[in-house]
Amino acid sequence: MNTASETPAACLRDVHKHYRLGDIVVPALRGIDLDLPRGRFTVIGGPSGSGKSTLLNLLGCIDAPDTGSVDIDGRPVNALDDDDRTEFRARHVGFIFQNYNLIPVLSALENVEYPLQLVERSAAKRRTMARDALAEVGLTGMENRLPSALSGGQRQRVAVARALVKRPALILADEPTANLDQATGHELIALMRHIQRTTGATFVFSSHDPKLMEEADLRVRLVDGKITEISGNAMHKEPA
């Protein structure tokens, strides 16, 4: 079993992010200082509008902070231009979405293989990596099924395989159990926990799921764009 390194998977320092709605400036994150431990389960909780999605977007290199720094796997990603940030995201970040975000006309295997087109030139190797990832989430034999022929839990397993297939530095999940019944959601949590423990993958979730919170190595609570509570092995500094 892999153990977590002392080097954080991600570091945020004095991160601020605002959005403009017409003439109104809305603060989304206000002075976030946080280290996210490598090879662990981290869950970010908080009420709607607290900044959870904004924080995931910054970690996923989808957006950049207005001020402050975001380092992923030791690299200051907010210093990258749009093209370099897109390439970094393609190689180093995996995403699991609440609504699966599978391409309906592609098979399970093709959906998992799709993100590899940007990082792996060999078609044969892409296919092998995708098959291995599906096997890892228990979907051997379902490679050729379209998403419409899969249950909600199976679709989310395909999404997990797609996120894992590149072996990224970070796997980000936005409410991954929200659209699943309780039993299926618990099965998915157990699967992701098993993957995290056996591969050393770093998972960061936004979630209200009590079971996922219970499983977390690190719990971070956001309210109005600020960290109000944290438990686990990470550094949190109150802004001055």
Contact 204, 194 (CB under 8 A): no
For 66, the domain range is: 10-103+168-231
pLDDT at 231: 86
Classified as helix, coil or strand, 23 is coil
- Indicate which CATH number applies to the domain containing 178: 3.40.50.300
Is position 1 within any domain?
no
pLDDT at 95: 93
Is position 174 within any domain?
yes
User: What are the angstrom distances between the C-alpha of 240 and each of 33, 52, 220?
Assistant: 11, 22, 19
Q: pLDDT for 61-75, tens place per residue?
A: 999 999 999 999 889
Is position 135 within any domain?
no
Is position 117 within any domain?
no
* Number of domains, the chain: 1
Report pTM. Answer: 0.86
Using 50, 70 and 90 to split pLDDT, how confident is the model at 48? confident
Span 9-37, mean pLDDT? Answer: 93
Span 145-169, mean pLDDT? Answer: 94
Is position 213 within any domain?
yes
φ, ψ at 19 (rounded to 5°): -125, 150
